[in-house]
A and B are shown apart, each in its own frame.
Chain A
Amino acid sequence: MSTRLQFALGAGLLIALAAIPPVASLAGIPFLLTLFTRIVIVAIASVSLNLILGYGGMYSLGHAVYIGIGGYTVGILAFHGVHSGLVQWPLALAVSALFALVTGALCLRTRGVYFIMITLAFAQMVYFLTVGVAKYGGDDGLTIARRSSFGGLVNLADRTTFYYVSLAFLLAAVLVVWRISRSHFGMVVRGACANDRRMQALGFPTYRYRLAAYVIAGTMGGLAGALLANQTDFVNPEMLSWTRSGDLMIMVILGGSGSVIGPVAGTVAYMVLEEVLSGITEHWQIILGPLVVLMALVRQGGIVGWLSPKRHA
């Protein structure tokens, strides 16, 4: 994957995404802003999943749990009258990080299909917890009366402001993953993905590096959750259902895992397609599913892969 192509694609995406609020208001389609706010937030989660999936070969099927944890942390605090974002958000990240640390410590002892299953199992545990706790709405979810307040700093109740805040966080997430993937740390994670045995023989205790990557990814997922809870003013168990985790995985692979910008493109493509197809038929999943599989089969490397010149074998 050439760096220049990624930059071009990234710059193009950024300009297009930055243009959404004026376009939505000029065209008189406020829903466009709602859709793209959601897309931008979910893209943060995709980008974070890509750090472990694309670079670390850790195929987590439970990444949506961090969206749930981040979201519920905000929701539960708001429920108890704590509305300050300076409390809510750091706590959302901290709880996500802690969950990633504890579960990752166990998950990363396994490989391949076992890893997929155990990440799924931990996510399901939290899912059933959210369904079961009636105090916080159980199945029905929890309505958030007020968005996180940051004093006079920013007003998240303003839709356009909220969108640009989300976009700024996405940009930051991309930048962080970009730097990490090429750093010393990133080389260890990538090396452990390609040939863990050799890495250990060279003297790298790879487990702790992979775990650290897992925690970073989970924390960023928690940020997406805190944002999403604010966008919808609502959290429910569906946010962290395993199909959401599956969607994230598809977005990453569709866009091109292992390229920094790929998951953003994958998220935009997937969610726009979902929106368009669901307007045509309620059985949109029957179309979208095979379409994604087909795209993955036709050429590896996802959207970013198709755009780049053919690599020699």
Chain B
Amino acid sequence: MPDALVRTRGLCKHFGGVVATDNVTLELNRGEIHAVIGPNGAGKTTLINQLTGELFPDAGSILLDGRDITREPPAVRARAGLARAYQIVSIFPAFSVLQNVALAVQATQPHSFRFWREAARDARLLDPAMEILARLGLEGRAGALASQLSHGEQRQLELAMALATRPRVLLLDEPTAGMGHEESRHIVSLLGTLKSDYAILLVEHDMNAVFALADLITVLVYGRIVASGAPDEIRGDAEVKRAYLGEKKKAPRRTGAAD
């Protein structure tokens, strides 16, 4: 069996009395979309935060390509190939759309101690950035300020920035939340095409998207994995139905935790 690109072992995270992550062990493999689903407050975002290093787990470990990154800061992990798209849009509102993505491209360079040349005219940043914007259908908005984008467009920008860092692992926290039908379909089909090149962790509430895309589905409830398997197994799992699928089919909610 080839070793997983990302592997967590027994991750635990408490917030006071709240158990947000409870002994979570999972894998992300290249060429696979691993969907993590679960009700509100199940700990999906908290799990991603631990993978990116924005939160440190209380217990357990995280391996990236066999290397222990449990205590590495976010920037180090990002440079090692992890990228995320936030559930709540996290962009640079005062920069143009193109600048946002160009900055993400810049993050792939060995360092940014370059003091003289104008970043906004550097083709090595702009060309790849434009390419990614085109891929997401945002090229027409390149010159707009990020703050002027619609909510759906900002979510696309969020994804564009993640892609621009040329990651190996994509951690996507509800990439289609709050998008219109068309936009959301576009993203779903895009994720389908991205799949072969990345290991993707997909948190998503749209079950149609999940079952269309996922190779593996893990169900979290109160921070604990209650089921994990191929889409067909999950669809038939009684506990999953009771805990999640049965009671909320396609929950169109927009609330979220601290991010």
Residues of chain A having any CB pair with chain B under 8 Å: 179-180, 182-188, 191, 194-195, 197-198, 200-206, 209, 212
Tell me the bound Cα distance from A220 to B74 in angstroms: 32
B75 touches A184 (CB 8 A): no
Instruction: Chain A residues near B93: list those with CB within 8 A.
Output: 194
Distance in Å from the Cβ of A192 to the closest Cβ of chain B?
10
Contact B94 A201 (CB under 8 A): no
* Residue contact B94 to A194, C-beta cutoff 8 Å: yes
Q: Is B205 close to A, CB under 8 A?
A: no
- Please give the distance in Å from B122's CB to the nearest CB on chain A: 7
Per a CB cutoff under 8 Å, which of B76, B86, B112 touches A188? B112
Report how far A180 CA is from B108 CA in the complex, Å.
Answer: 20
CA distance A305 to B108 in the complex (A): 35
Which single residue of chain B is at the shortest CB-CB distance from A180? Answer: B115
A202 vs B92: C-alpha distance in the bound complex, in angstroms?
12
CB distance from A221 to the nearest CB of B (A): 18
Could you tell me if B79 and A212 are in contact, using CB atoms closer than 8 angstroms? no
- Please tell me if B109 contacts chain A, counting CB pairs below 8 Å: yes
CA distance A204 to B161 in the complex (A): 13
Asked if B13 is at the interface (CB within 8 A of a chain A CB), the reply is: no
| Chain A residues, Cβ within 8 Å of B161 | 198, 202
Nearest CB of A to B201, in Å: 15
Interface of A is mostly: helix
A195-B92, A200-B75, A206-B75 known; A212-B113 Cβ under 8 A: yes
- Say yes or no for B78: interface residue by CB 8 A criterion: yes
Contacts of B246 in A (CB 8 A): none
Indicate with 1 or 0, residue by residue over B68-93, a CB within 8 angstroms of chain A CB atoms. Answer: 00000111101100011010001111
On chain B, the residues within 8 Å of A212 by CB distance are 113
Chain B binding surface, main DSSP class? loop
Is B109 within 8 A of A204, CB to CB?
Answer: no
Q: Is the CB of B120 within 8 A of A209?
A: no
Given A194-B92, A194-B94, the answer on whether A201 and B84 have CB atoms closer than 8 Å is: yes
* Residue B165 lies at the interface, judged by CB distance under 8 Å to chain A: yes
The answer, yes or no, to whether B117 is at the interface (CB within 8 Å) is: yes
Cα separation A17 to B74 with both chains bound (whole Å): 48
Count A/B pairs, Cβ under 8 Å.
90
Q: Name the interface residues of B99-144: CB closer than 8 Å to any CB of A.
A: 99, 103-104, 106-109, 112-120, 122
Inter-chain CA distance A198–B94, complex, in Å, is 14
Besides the known contacts A202-B78, A204-B107, A205-B76, 8 further A-B residue pairs in the complex with CB atoms under 8 A apart: A183-B118, A183-B119, A187-B99, A198-B90, A200-B74, A200-B78, A201-B54, A203-B165
- On whether the beta carbons of A187 and B106 are closer than 8 Å, the reply is yes
Given the known A-B contacts A182-B120, A184-B117, A212-B113, are A198 and B107 also in contact in the complex, defined by CB atoms under 8 Å?
no
Contact yes or no, A184 B78, CB < 8 A:
no
A298 to chain B, nearest CB (A): 22
Interface pair A197/B90, CB less than 8 Å apart: yes
Q: List 29 A-B contacts (CB under 8 A).
A: A179-B115, A182-B119, A183-B119, A184-B113, A184-B117, A185-B112, A185-B114, A186-B119, A187-B103, A187-B112, A187-B119, A188-B112, A191-B103, A194-B92, A194-B95, A195-B90, A195-B91, A197-B54, A197-B90, A200-B78, A201-B74, A201-B78, A202-B107, A202-B161, A203-B75, A203-B108, A204-B75, A205-B75, A209-B113
A115 to B206, CA, bound (A): 44
Q: How large is the interface on B (under 10, 10 to 19, 20 to 34, 35 or more residues)?
A: 35 or more
Whether the Cβ atoms of B107 and A179 lie closer than 8 Å is no
- B29 touches A (CB below 8 Å): no
Which residue from chain A places its CB closest to the CB of B92 in the assembled complex? Answer: A194
Task: Report how far A188 CA is from B111 CA in the complex, Å.
Answer: 10
Q: How far is the CB of A28 from chain B (nearest CB, A)?
A: 44
Complex contacts, A206 vs chain B, CB 8 Å: 75
**Docked-complex contact A183 and B74, CB < 8 angstroms:** no
List the B side residues contacting A185 at CB < 8 Å.
112-115
CB of A119, distance to nearest CB on chain B (Å): 23
What is the minimal beta-carbon distance from A7 to any residue of chain B, in angstroms? 15
CB pair B52–A201 under 8 Å, yes or no, is yes
Given A200-B74, A204-B107 in contact, is the A183-B91 Cβ separation under 8 Å? no
Q: Which 9 A-B pairs have the closest CB atoms?
A: A203-B78, A203-B107, A184-B114, A202-B107, A200-B74, A205-B75, A184-B112, A203-B79, A198-B90
Q: A184-B114, A185-B114, A191-B103 are in contact. Are A200 and B73 (CB under 8 A)?
A: yes
